[in-house]
Amino acid sequence: YDANDKKLIRPEEIKFGKIINDPDEVEVVARRAQKALLNPNYNHEDYFYHDFESISYEDDAIRNELKFTKNVVCLEIKGPKVPNLSLIDLPGIIRHVEKVEDERFIKLIEELVENYISKEKSIIVATISCKDEIDNQAIVTLAKKADRQGLRTLGVLTKPDTIEEGTHNTWIKIMRGDAHNLALGYYAVKNPKPIELKDGITFDKARRNEMRFFEEEEPWRSFHQKERLGVNHLQKKLSDLLIHAIKRTLPSIKKEVEEQLENVHEQLDNMPEQLGKNPRIELFRMTKKCANFIREEVMCSNDQTNLWQEINKELKNFKYNLCSTRPIFEINGQKFDILQEFIQSTNEIKNKDDELLIIKEADVADIINKARGRLLPGFTPYSAVVSLIKMHQKKWKSPAIECLHEINEIMTRHVNDSTDKIFSRFPALIGRMKFNAMTFLEECKQNTEKYIDFINDIEGSDFPFTLDESSMISSKLGYFNSLQQATMPQPLPFPSFQPQPSPPANDKQKPSDTLEIMASAMAYFKLAFRRYADIVSMTIIHSFIDNFSKAIEEKFLEACEPMEGEEDFDLDELVMEDENISGKRDNLLETEKHLRSMLLSLVKFGC
């Protein structure tokens, strides 16, 4: 656990002192290690030879930084007669403390105990003192809570020599399993008294005294399950339980290790790769990688269509907004929409016909009268057609610029995402890369705006132009025929808004100036609207999007060079990785190493 009692990703093991060969030294070294844990701000080596003899236990404890810690002292004991056993000695559960500020330790210790005994693969060795009734002892309650069926709890009765006269039968019933039954049963042990420990009693003598007690004292002398009396029998039982549990759980342990290893590999795959030692080569490689990310999105490589899904949506919006500036021509109540078929392809956008400008025959007649100068009667002024066309063409620029700005927002977001993906782990570099990318994106946008201005200047010329003579003439004649039919006294019951065939040669109707101008404007608008929508869209794609993606790598590389006035420029600082990312990667690599070692050990064990 760290200083804030938060569990570490992987336990840290610190070797304390030298290897102990004398069993008599174990107790004092374990106490010294515990003291080092209770004083985490001091060097643990300061406690290798700490003297407990010159100060009382109480005075020594007061000087500790902590009164309790979740971190543990691990003792690894090896020897020819040592049982194959792993034990975790948990602190005794307390219910009362002397000081109010220490009350938090009551819950802290209980939570620690619950955490350990709740693990399904652990065996709970519940030590129960015979000095008090079993129902009064907290460990019994906690063990029942963690192991409701009593399948992995083993009871150990301690201090059998303190049982009150006349109550032995209660404890014998527990030992036989007639009360407080546990699947693993109960054992009774008698350890040395404090005075014996102080006098330095040996382990072997303590065991001889224990066996003498059970052989001579009643009711233990008459107790038929002798294999449940004494520490030696308890050791053997626990060792057998552990070996059996290990054999039973090895396959599941191996599977769990493999799953954790796979999870670590997935996390490592999702992390930025570790850098090499040459910063200039690494910068070149990363800038190329980031530029390729952007180019792949622009080129839709590897099925990356998200960028173009957004761009195409804005281009459709542009088409709709552009067509929303189109005029609707009206003769005798019949409306003629020159772009009805063109606008229908943008079907997901609601068409607002009621907001379009309606041009009636009288409006066109007025334009013709204003344009007529020194012309002879019977001639239609060309300037009237130009005037009608230019009146609507001046509205085209606004949708085009709006489309460019929206696509610029989309590109900004995607470029920033790509830049973050590669450079976000470098605090000193990410800002430079984004600044150069955004500066160049703005430059491309401004250049594109100039091209759009140029296109508008061409389209808004005093001399409308097209080389598509056949389409222009054909559309004009068709529209003229449709308009002329609309002027007839009896209009068709279902008027068609599509251009009609030219009237027969013997038709006695004569074209008016108004219909001539309206037909000419309608024919040109149909051609020019489509042409403008395509040219502006292609200009945005080529001048803005494509040009940016082609040159962005060069701009990224420029960000890796010293800026004006940057005298303390250091390339190594630019590629200094964020500590959180490097720390996480190091932890994952360490965990991977640890899990591989565990897997290898399991394989060697025969799993």
Of 92-106, 206-220, 407-421, 592-606, the range with the lowest mean pLDDT is 92-106
Tokens encoding 330: 């009206």
Contact call for residues 2 and 14 (beta carbons, < 8 A): no
Write the pLDDT tens digit of every residue in 362-375. Answer: 899 898 888 877 67
Q: How confident is the model at residue 94 (pLDDT cuts 50, 70, 90)?
A: low
Query: Where is pLDDT greater, at 368 or 89?
Result: 368
pLDDT of residue 101: 67
Task: Find, among 603, 570, 606, 504, the residue nearest to 257 by Cα.
Answer: 603
Instruction: List, in order of start, the domains of the chain with CATH numbers.
Output: 1-81 (no CATH), 83-229 (3.40.50.300), 289-565 (1.20.120.1240)
Of residues 265 and 583, the one with the higher pLDDT is 265
Residue with more model confidence, 471 or 341: 471
Query: How far is 431 from 566, CA to CA, in rounded Å?
Result: 15
At residue 84, the pLDDT reads 60
Residue type, 549: S
What's the Cα-to-Cα distance from 378 to each of 293, 374, 516, rounded to whole Å?
A: 65, 12, 12
Residue 68 confidence (pLDDT): 78
- Among 118-122, 183-187, 225-229, 462-466, the range scoring the smallest mean pLDDT is 118-122
> Does residue 495 carry a pLDDT above 60?
no
* Helical spans, DSSP H, in 38-103: 57-62
Higher pLDDT: 449 or 564? It is 449
Edge-to-edge order in the sheet of strand 186-188: 124-129, 153-158, 186-188
Instruction: Kindly state the DSSP code that residue 541 receives in the 8-state scheme.
Output: I
The pLDDT value recorded for residue 372 is 79
Tens of pLDDT along 172-210? 999 998 998 888 999 999 999 888 887 888 888 999 999
CA 605/CA 607 separation, integer angstroms:
6
Specify the range with the lowest mean pLDDT, choosing from 89-103, 137-151, 260-274, 585-599.
89-103
235 against 110, higher pLDDT: 235
Flag whether pLDDT at 605 surpasses 80.
no
d(CA 361, CA 359): 7
**pTM for the model:** 0.57
User: Using an 8 Å Cβ cutoff, are 268 and 588 in contact?
Assistant: yes
Across the range 156-170, mean pLDDT stands at 91
pLDDT in tens, 3-62: 777 777 667 888 888 888 887 788 888 888 888 888 888 888 888 888 887 777 777 888
Query: What pLDDT, on a 0 to 100 scale, did the predictor assign at position 83?
Result: 62
Distance between CA 420 and CA 531 in Å, rounded?
39
Task: List C-alpha distances in Å: 127 to 64, 115, 303, 604.
Answer: 28, 17, 65, 36
pLDDT band at 507 (very low <50, low <70, confident <90, very high): very low
Report the distance separating Cα 90 and Cα 122, nearest Å.
13
How many angstroms separate the CA atoms of 189 and 232, rounded? 9
Out of 13-27, 211-225, 310-324, least confident range? 13-27
Element (H, E) at 420: helix 397-423
Top-confidence residue, 63 or 351: 63
What's residue 158's pLDDT? 93
pLDDT tens, position by position, 399-415:
999 999 999 999 999 99
What single-letter DSSP state applies at residue 218? T
Q: Classify 155 as helix, strand or coil.
A: strand
At 353, list the tokens.
């016909």
Confidence at residue 272, expressed as pLDDT on a 0 to 100 scale:
77
Give residue 122's pLDDT: 82
What pLDDT, on a 0 to 100 scale, did the predictor assign at position 109?
79
Instruction: State the DSSP string of 94-144.
Output: -S--SSGGGTHHHHHHHHHHHHHHT-TT--EEEEEETTS-GGG-HHHHHHH
- Write 465-474 long-range contacts (CB < 8 A, 24+): 466/524, 466/527, 466/528, 466/531, 468/527, 471/527, 472/523, 472/524, 472/527, 473/523, 474/499
Q: Which amino acid belongs to residue 230?
A: G
User: Is it the case that residue 378 has pLDDT exceeding 80?
Assistant: no
Residue 347 pLDDT exceeds 60: no
The pLDDT tens digits for 106-158 are: 777 788 888 888 887 788 898 999 988 888 888 888 888 888 888 888 999 99
Residue % of the chain over a pLDDT of 90: 42
Which amino acid, 24? D
Among 153-162, 205-214, 216-225, 441-450, which range has the highest average pLDDT? 441-450
pLDDT at 510: 40
Of 415, 417, 419, 443, residue with least CA distance to 432: 419
Under the banding of pLDDT at 50, 70 and 90, the label for residue 523 is very high
Average pLDDT over the chain, rounded to an integer: 85
pLDDT of 85 strictly over 80: no
Amino acid at 433: M
Residues 371 and 387 sit within 8 Å (Cβ to Cβ): yes
